[in-house]
């Protein structure tokens, strides 16, 4: 069974840092593009970042470029999102997702940025 | 950026009805469009990919069509399990973007 389990979400102050993790199982992790998608409270979904199969290509939405970094460890079947210089507007549920023409989603982890 | 505008935002229908949800794109693209169903407390689930390909295990009453700037999701005979929120997503160009969602509610 394909599973994506996010962890690392918590409350943090503006300007702080956080690292989200996503543990993948049930498929050959190294075969797939992986993504992070978020939903802020009361808002729609926003794609955040992509990483290709070997980690050599990474893409970001403009609002996180320079602050967030996506990475992966294929040996550990894990995806990561390093979030620095966090802002109140980064408050959201963050989903890890496998991409192959459509997303297969994890359950999400909540990040709250508040003073 | 490609803006995806979904309509309607809410749709009231009865079991057995045929319903259509539309996503209009701010610029034309070919087929990199997916549709998802979301229920409270659950992860979204893919229904359609590449505009018209049915995800494995999804009932055949769901269908997708379109290209260019207009894409549609049709549910041919609404079932009780189908009352949920649906949204589209384009992956033709970065940044990938989503429609704002259509809530299908019981009439």
Residues of chain B contacting A107 with CB distance shorter than 8 Å: 42-43
Mean pLDDT, residues B6-10: 96
When the pLDDT of each residue in chain A is averaged and rounded to a whole number, the result is: 97
* Cβ B2 vs Cβ B97: under 8 Å: yes
A2 close to B (CB below 8 A): no
Paired residues of A110 in beta bridges? A93
Q: Report the chain B residue with the minimal C-alpha distance to residue A3.
A: B43
Please, which residues have CB within 8 angstroms of residue B69's CB and are 6 or more apart in sequence?
B24, B25, B26, B27, B28
Among B103, B99, B105, residue whose Cα is nearest residue B26: B99
CB contact under 8 A, B43 and A59: no
**What is the phi/psi pair of residue A32, to 5°?**
-120, 140
What angle is formed at CA A40 by the lines to CA A38 and CA A41, rounded to 5 degrees? Answer: 140
Model pLDDT for residues A46-102, shown as the tens digit of each residue: 999 999 999 999 999 999 999 999 999 999 999 999 999 999 999 999 999 999 999
Model pLDDT for residues B42-100, shown as the tens digit of each residue: 999 999 999 999 999 999 999 999 999 999 999 999 999 999 999 999 999 999 999 99
């Amino acid at each position: 069974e394909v599973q994506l389990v996010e962890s690392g979400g918590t409350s943090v102050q503006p300007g702080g840092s956080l690292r989200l993790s996503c543990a993948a199982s049930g498929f050959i992790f190294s075969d797939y593009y992986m993504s992070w998608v978020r939903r802020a409270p009361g808002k729609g979904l926003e794609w955040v970042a992509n990483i290709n199969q070997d980690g050599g290509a990474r893409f970001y939405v403009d609002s996180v470029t320079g602050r967030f970094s996506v990475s992966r460890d294929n040996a550990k079947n894990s995806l990561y999102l390093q979030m620095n210089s966090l802002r109140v507007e980064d408050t959201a549920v963050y989903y890890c997702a496998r991409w192959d023409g459509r997303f297969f989603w994890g359950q999400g982890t909540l990040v709250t940025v508040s003073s | 950026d490609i803006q995806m505008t979904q309509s309607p935002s809410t749709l009231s229908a009865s079991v057995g009805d045929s319903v259509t949800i539309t996503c209009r794109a701010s610029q034309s693209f070919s087929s990199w469009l997916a549709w998802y169903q979301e229920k409270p407390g659950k992860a979204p689930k893919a229904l359609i990919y590449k505009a018209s390909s049915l995800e494995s295990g999804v009932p055949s009453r769901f269908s997708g069509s379109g290209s260019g700037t207009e894409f549609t999701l049709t549910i041919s005979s609404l079932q009780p399990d189908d009352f949920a929120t649906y949204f589209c997503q384009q992956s033709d160009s970065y940044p990938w973007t989503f429609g704002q969602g259509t809530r299908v509610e019981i009439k």
